[in-house]
Amino acid sequence: MTRLLLALRLAAVAFTAATADLDTPTQDATTTFSTKILIDEAAPLQRCTLIAPIQETQLHRRVVSSSDVYEERTVRRNRNDLDELAAHPRDATNQVFVEIFGASESVVEQALRTRCPNGVVESGPAAPSVRTNNVLGVSTLATPIIRKIVDSGDPKNRIDIVFMGDGYTAAEEAKFFADMERLTTDMFTGDTFAQYLPLFNVWAVLQPSAESGIGVGGKPKNTAFGLYRDGTELRGVYTSKSSEARRVCALVGANACDFPSLIGNDDFYGGLGGEFVISTRSPTSGTIVLRHEMGHNFGKVGEEYDGGQVYDGANSAASLSTISWKHWLTTPGTVREEKAALTFTDHMWYNLKNGPYKLSFTASGKYKRWLLVMTASGAANDASLSITLDGKPLAWKSSGVKDRTFYTWENRTHGFAAGKHEIVVSGNGPFNGAIIQQLCSLDLNEYMGESEFQLDNNDAISAFPTWDGSGVKTFRPNNEKCLMRNMLSTKFCAVCIENMWLKFFERVQLIDAVAVTNATRATLKVIPLAQLRAATPSAASNESITVQWLKGGVEQTQFRDLFVVDLASATGGASGQWTVRAKFQTPAVRLDPRNLLQSEKTFTI
């Protein structure tokens, strides 16, 4: 494997140039450069792994001045593949991808040196140099088939999702593109991402695989990106060919690989977040996994459900004093902890062929209400499973499919009596299918009465406790509405919705361009939100785009909120320096401290 020591790459003259650049007065940044590395925060003496070289990228609006450096972190979730083991010989949640942004190559280069004092090692067989336009090398594989299935505009000012199919053979081309159309429709209609659609392009890329389907038992098939499951259980799906996935995504074009996603040709639940959003084509669960994992990557947020590992970002607070969503509180000015308990969370992945699964727990008796969530697979009819609580049957109805499915029971009028209780889940067969009859997980939350825990108002924003896998408590904004906690939901809470608007507008500007024709006729082209929406006019009901035209810094009020103007009718005529300013307003964003929803362009007549 090709290796590269950063210290050998960076000459002293480069360091001098970078230092001189940083000493100059700051000015508005008009370009953005970036590089991406993989680091192990638990092993700071290790070299960094270079994932993407320093190159010009889509404008990042957190890079304002010539000296600004901004970092975005994504926790590594995928397993090490063979190409990566040499640099990071262990799997660890301490491994993170760090993308470094700056206004120039030299600024990014200096930040890279600071981040990686022991140098870098290149990633994968298609190893790039530190600076190259041919980002990920040349492949000997067949050219992939690339289709743009949602076209909202130029990738340099849009957010681009790239769906790459794995385990689809050349003969399954029609199936692949039909699956991607279906998943896209599921994602961008209804309640989940429809309001953001004008900001997005969606691409579908078919790199034909030699074999159909994805691997199981930790063994990938001969497929484009080597997707596989650890065992037979319906949970994580991993890629064994990260470098190849990066290479293929880069082929879509400049600035067009913002959110790469690998979709396995498999009919059942499974996926992963991190560098790639991984899901399957499953008609029953593919979209459920996809929208949750995209929520992580779009919003740069951690988990909201109990028993996880990563809790950070706009939807998490370590304490009541650090809550960032106070402007969304249902009771303004009052930050309180909603009183609840995680009585148990158990991800057992138990094969019910081996007999009933029994779970005992002790209730304090002080809580007034409760919610039990079970996930199970291989239970395609009502007779498949039996569930009892303290010896009494819990009524349930199968989803009618063998896929992993979420089932819930709740009691909003009575809590558990103090003392011991027992839940028993029994499998009733048949046990001979490829999808085993498996109890995947059980979670029980208990709540106080409404005066101490807001359960009846599904939209309530407060400080709801969440416990990670080690029992450490953090706080989330909402109880069970948000799909970042409740996988059955199709909606985000208000805090997540606002956060995604802000994250998206870090990478795009409201104004696409200003075109001047016939010497004085100016046309403002913006992303079609608010009154300009066509596909989703209902989303525009409370939105607006306001427009100001300024000549020499003085607003020409006769042009207020116009998108096409004749500059000749301005005070003093058309000649001069012009600034056009557009602002998007939506009730979904209450706090925009960096003024990201506003954009302006300057031009001279």
pLDDT at 124: 57
Tell me yes or no: is domain 509-604 CATH 2.60.40: yes
Return d(Cα 39, Cα 105) in angstroms, integer: 20
Residue ranges of the alpha helices (H) in 127-172? none
pTM: 0.90
Tokens of 349: 């992945």
376 confidence band (pLDDT: 50, 70, 90) = very high
Whether the predicted pLDDT of 92 surpasses 60: no
Same fold for the domain at 145-299 and the one at 509-604?
A: no
Q: Which of the pair, 418 or 4, is modelled with greater confidence?
A: 418
User: Cβ neighbours of residue 544 under 8 Å, at least 6 residues apart?
Assistant: 530, 531, 584, 585
191 confidence band (pLDDT: 50, 70, 90) = confident
Q: In this predicted model, what pLDDT tens digit does every residue of 269-304 receive, in sequence order? A: 999 999 999 999 999 999 999 999 999 999 999 999
First to last CA, the chain: 56
Peptide bond into 430 cis (omega under 30): yes
- How many C-beta atoms surround the C-beta of residue 557 within 10 A? 9
Tell me what the pLDDT averaged over the chain comes to: 90
Angle between helices 105-115 and 12-23 (to 10 degrees): 110
User: Cβ neighbours of residue 506 under 8 Å, at least 6 residues apart?
Assistant: 60, 61, 62, 596
Q: Which residues of 196-231 are buried (b: 16+ CB within 10 A; e: fewer)?
A: bbbbbbbbbbbbbbeeebbbbeeebbebbbbbbbbe
145-299 CATH fold = Collagenase (Catalytic Domain) (3.40.390)
User: Cβ neighbours of residue 353 under 8 Å, at least 6 residues apart?
Assistant: 427, 429, 431, 436, 437
Location of structure tokens 């990686």: 116
User: Cβ neighbours of residue 599 under 8 Å, at least 6 residues apart?
Assistant: 509, 510, 511, 526, 581, 582, 583
Torsion from C-alpha of 120, 121, 122, 124, nearest 10 degrees: -140
Return d(Cα 252, Cα 282) in angstroms, integer: 25
Annotated domain spans of the chain: 6-122, 145-299, 339-453, 509-604
Tokens of 515: 């075109």
Determine which helix (DSSP H) or strand (DSSP E) holds 174, and give its type and residue range. Answer: helix 173-188
Whether the predicted pLDDT of 573 surpasses 80: yes
Return d(Cα 73, Cα 58) in angstroms, integer: 17
Beta strands, E only, 312-377? 340-346, 350-351, 357-363, 369-377
271 in Cβ contact with 290 (< 8 Å): yes
pLDDT at 310: 87
Thinking of the domain 339-453, which architecture would CATH place it in? Sandwich (2.60)
